Amino acid sequence: MGKKREPLKSLIPSERIERAILLLRGQKVMLDYDLAALYDVETKQLVRAVKRNLDRFPPDFAFVLTPKEFAILRRQFGTSSSWGGRRLPPWAFTEQGVAMLSSVLRSQRAVRVNVEIMRAFVRLREIMKSHSDLARRLDELEKKYDQQFAAVFDAIRQMMTPPAEEPREIGYHTLVKRFEEP
């Protein structure tokens, strides 16, 4: 009989991976610089490996953000201005593209990190499925019961909806109050 293998200790907290998964063009993707940080390589090394193996990354596996998407991303995350930082739009990798990365990076860490990323994608799919199942069940219940429960169903729907992020104020705030002269 073979030995039972012990699961490997996680290299990266799953929350960190899940925070790096974004929704772009209707797909869950991870950006090249987030993946490079997880794989512990420089972003330019990761991009270079992808460009050397472009035939392994069709458009449904990986794509470069458009200038408009890149500008939105820069504003959203507050990345640096034209005086430094990244000048070229990042690559976005779908779940299949992330899986393909382990074959082009060829390191033991890349294989282990890929396993953890794949598990994070699976968890997100399960969460999304349970959320849609819950919404469907709520609709069914609402159809069965009369208007007296409408407020309850509305409250549940509001709790299921993620809060809208309010834009942060820009500028300095002082603690000293200014007095106006009469």
| pLDDT tens figures, 84-108 | 567 789 999 998 898 888 788 877 7
Torsion from C-alpha of 108, 111, 113, 114, nearest 10 degrees = 170
pTM over 0.75: no
Pick the more confident residue, 164 or 157. Answer: 157
**Side chain identity at 7, as an amino acid letter?**
P
Give the class (CATH, top level) of 14-127. alpha beta
| Average pLDDT taken over every residue of the chain | 77
Domain definitions of the chain by residue range:
14-127
Q: Which residues pair with 28 in a beta bridge?
A: 23
Q: How many CA atoms lie within 13 A of 27 on its CB side?
A: 17
